[in-house]
Amino acid sequence: MAKRRGQREGSIFKRRDGRWAAVVNIGWRDGKRHRKYFYGETRSDVQKELTAALRAQDQGLPVAPERQTVKHFLTSWLADSVRPTVRPRTFVSYSQLVNVHLVPGLGHIVLSKLSPQDVQGFLNDKLKARRGNLPKEKPGGTSAQPLKPKKLETLAPRTVQYVHAVLKRALGQALKWGLVARNVAALVDSPSVRRQEVQPLSPDEARALLNAIGDERLAALYSVALALGLRQGEALGLRWDDIDLDSGTLTIRKAMQRVDGKLQLVDPKTTKSRRTVALPEVAVIALRGHRVRQLEERLLAGTRWRDNGLVFATTIGTPLDGRNVTRHFQQVLTNAGLPRQRFHDLRHTCASLLLVQGVHPRVVMETLGHSQIKLTMDTYSHVIPELQREAAGRIDQILVPNQRAGHS
């Protein structure tokens, strides 16, 4: 009597069309048995896939449904893995990259069949993507006079890099879930992007800015952002409970962000972004003056005041819109005869000034809330030559203490 095949052994057979097939049970769902089929031209082809599936089962890993596409996986990945773990704005960014680029380009491919060549070709196409109108077809099948094409646009390498990064992260999760045998996106090179050189304010320009803001209503906001290198969202999300003017400390706990069209407080960018920093005297003085001004505004607003506890708010206590703040800041720069800057460049100015003064890079990293010191040094590499000159001068002071001017 022939031995009966076990439930988890799978089986291989030849189809009437001459192709080989393998089948393995992947469990019961809603009272029905579900199986996964593998097809190939030879017996050895399906044997390899069957063996891999049985190995996954033995290890307690799920066996991916045969027809799960990249689109179906990315949709579930966004809902199950991304949404619960990132900030709302980050989730929106991921969703846009997935739905606008990844799903149209790769969504039709079966997840388990996605190859490095598929990903590389997709990225290459994105780099040379063009917008335009194709000729319309006449009923008889001939082309009508083509419409005038729209202006051709190339997708920025930075955007393609972001798309690649999201796909790599998604497939990394698929690998952990046992849905793929390898992360094919990790085997593909991302397009190179030239880092934009940071152009902070010079020390003289920074002092000129502080002089120019004078009695500006948001003077304290610019002073604190410049002195501590805060991100705009961090500065606008500050509450008075986060600041101790007596001890001279400030704690970043939340950030202001626009989510679904509304300004709201969200968690900071990273774990390292939650930090407590010492307040320079220039910031303490600015905040004390700002608090007095805000109390006056609160009295004037009366019942219209909305008590959100925000340090930097409108004249009735509601959150400030970052876009309006940036426009005001740039107008202040123009009035002061200073070069145009983004609000974020105040952060770069703070970091550059600290490094040039010899503050240890790790202290600068902690002040800025960077996750790695490499990020700090890579971002502010323009300061390195100045630090090298200072280091050379200190070596001279040690090795040639009596060196006089004019002697070599």
For the chain, what is the domain count? 3
Tell whether 398 is covered by a domain.
Answer: no
Query: Tokens at residue 384, please?
Result: 């390195």
Please state, in angstroms and rounded to a whole number, the distance separating the CA atoms of residues 405 and 402: 10
Please state, in angstroms and rounded to a whole number, the distance separating the CA atoms of residues 343 and 330: 8
Tell whether 306 is covered by a domain.
Answer: yes
| Structure-model confidence comparison of residues 264 and 191, the more confident one | 264
| Structure-model confidence comparison of residues 26 and 327, the more confident one | 327
pLDDT class of 238 with cuts at 50, 70, 90: very high
**Residues in Cβ contact with 106 at an 8 Å cutoff, skipping those fewer than 6 apart:** 70, 114, 118, 119, 122, 167
Is the Cβ–Cβ distance between 45 and 62 less than 8 Å?
Answer: no
Q: What is the pLDDT of residues 164-202, one digit of tens each?
A: 999 999 999 988 887 888 899 999 988 776 666 677 888
Average pLDDT, the chain: 81
Question: Does residue 257 sit in the same domain as residue 385?
Answer: yes
Strands 275-278 and 262-266: unpaired
Neighbours of 317 (CB within 10 A): 17
- CA distance from start to end of the chain: 101
Question: Does residue 157 sit in the same domain as residue 39?
Answer: no
Is the pLDDT assigned to residue 275 strictly greater than 80? yes
**Residues in Cβ contact with 262 at an 8 Å cutoff, skipping those fewer than 6 apart:** none
Q: What is the pLDDT of residues 344-382, one digit of tens each?
A: 999 888 888 888 787 888 888 888 888 777 767 666 666
Is the Cβ–Cβ distance between 338 and 201 less than 8 Å?
Answer: yes
**Residues in Cβ contact with 100 at an 8 Å cutoff, skipping those fewer than 6 apart:** none
> Residues 245-268: what's their mean pLDDT?
90
- How far is CA 387 from its chain centroid? 30
Question: CATH number for the domain including 121?
Answer: 1.10.150.130
pTM beyond 0.95, yes or no: no
Please state, in angstroms and rounded to a whole number, the distance separating the CA atoms of residues 102 and 174: 15
| Structure-model confidence comparison of residues 252 and 10, the more confident one | 252
Query: Tokens at residue 177, please?
Result: 């879930």
Please state, in angstroms and rounded to a whole number, the distance separating the CA atoms of residues 376 and 359: 13
* Helix, strand, coil shares, percent, the chain, to 5: 50, 10, 40
> Residues 24-48: what's their mean pLDDT?
76
Question: Does residue 172 sit in the same domain as residue 242?
Answer: no
Question: Does residue 21 sit in the same domain as residue 99?
Answer: no
Is the pLDDT assigned to residue 396 strictly greater than 70? no
Tell whether 396 is covered by a domain.
Answer: no
Please state, in angstroms and rounded to a whole number, the distance separating the CA atoms of residues 297 and 290: 10
Q: What is the pLDDT of residues 282-313, one digit of tens each?
A: 999 999 999 999 999 999 999 999 999 999 99
Is the pLDDT assigned to residue 2 strictly greater than 80? no
Q: Give the dihedral sign, CA 363/364/367/373.
A: negative
**DSSP notation for 222-244:** HHHHHHH---HHHHHT-BGGGEE
> What's the confidence (pLDDT) of residue 97?
93
Tell whether 194 is covered by a domain.
Answer: no
Question: Does residue 91 sit in the same domain as residue 45?
Answer: no
Question: Does residue 231 sit in the same domain as residue 344?
Answer: yes
Indicate the SS3 state at residue 329. helix
Residue type, 228: L
| Structure-model confidence comparison of residues 361 and 64, the more confident one | 361
Question: CATH number for the domain including 237?
Answer: 1.10.443.10
Q: Is 260 exposed, middle or buried (0-12, 13-18, 19+ CB in 10 A)?
A: exposed
Question: Does residue 261 sit in the same domain as residue 171?
Answer: no
Query: Tokens at residue 279, please?
Result: 């307040």
Question: Does residue 246 sit in the same domain as residue 182?
Answer: no
Question: Does residue 217 sit in the same domain as residue 240?
Answer: yes
> Residues 15-33: what's their mean pLDDT?
77
Is the pLDDT assigned to residue 8 strictly greater than 80? no
Q: Is 46 exposed, middle or buried (0-12, 13-18, 19+ CB in 10 A)?
A: buried
Question: Does residue 232 sit in the same domain as residue 369?
Answer: yes
Strands 32-40 and 20-29: antiparallel
Domain containing residue 32: 11-58
> Residues 106-126: what's their mean pLDDT?
91
Query: Tokens at residue 127, please?
Result: 């780099």
Is the Cβ–Cβ distance between 6 and 24 less than 8 Å?
Answer: no
Residue with tokens 């004019």: 406
